[in-house]
Amino acid sequence: MKTRIHVIALLLTMIIYTVSSHAESQIYHYQAKVEGMVCAFCAYSVSKKLRGIEGIIADTVTVSLEQNKAEFSSRKKIPESSIHRVFSESGFSLTNIHFNASESVRPAHRRDILLDLNVNVFNTEQFESVFRSIGNIAINTGASLLIEAPQAQEETILKALLMGRKKSVNVEFNPIDIESTAHIQLYQLLD
């Protein structure tokens, strides 16, 4: 009898473990309509806010200005109230939020670097026309941008790259501690 109870207990433990580990391995893929975007800088602002929500996998965030749509993935369910709270005072809103669960995240793509530029941040005003040109290239080629710069330079650099543009650009901004340099990389994703 004791052996039978131990076997049943062991089986129940295995079932509970399997169910709980399966639930933890779920990836939730979200799609939402975005309201309030008028330019590429707006799309960047929306993607930055999404990347800041706990649980969202930053590399999966994409925002389309043309389609007024955001897509992102998370390792846990994100309550809609959390998403709405993040956007409550931003001028943007996410509506029609839908998700489906799967077992995997979209695979990371390799990067084909088109431009790799280091700029002295004390001269960013001198480079505004260069930044606008890089923004044009990104929009016309569908390329993405990786920017590593002091946090204080984020808005200055990104406004020159994105402000007023009617197509969105995938931008990742990483703040760095080096106070004198901004690193800008223009790249295309390879399959």
Q: In this predicted structure, what is the pLDDT of residue 11?
A: 44
Question: For 54-180, where are the E strands, in sequence order?
Answer: 62-64, 69-74, 93-102, 110-120, 144-149, 171-175
Q: Which residues partner with 110 through β-bridges?
A: 190
Residue ranges of domains in the chain: 24-102, 110-190
Predicted confidence band of residue 116 (pLDDT cuts 50, 70, 90): very high
Q: In this predicted structure, what is the pLDDT of residue 24?
A: 54
Protein fold of 24-102: Alpha-Beta Plaits (3.30.70)
For 144-156, the pLDDT digits (tens) are: 999 999 999 999 9
Question: How far from 44 is each of 4, 168, 173, CA to CA, in Å?
Answer: 60, 8, 10
Q: What is the 8-class DSSP label of residue 179?
A: S
pLDDT at 16 over 50: no
For 20-52, the pLDDT digits (tens) are: 444 457 899 999 999 999 999 999 999 999 999
Tell me how many degrees the CA angle 55-60-66 measures, rounded to the nearest 5: 125
Q: Considering the entire predicted model, what is its pTM? A: 0.78
Q: Which residues contact 154 (CB under 8 A, 6 or more apart)?
A: 147, 173, 175
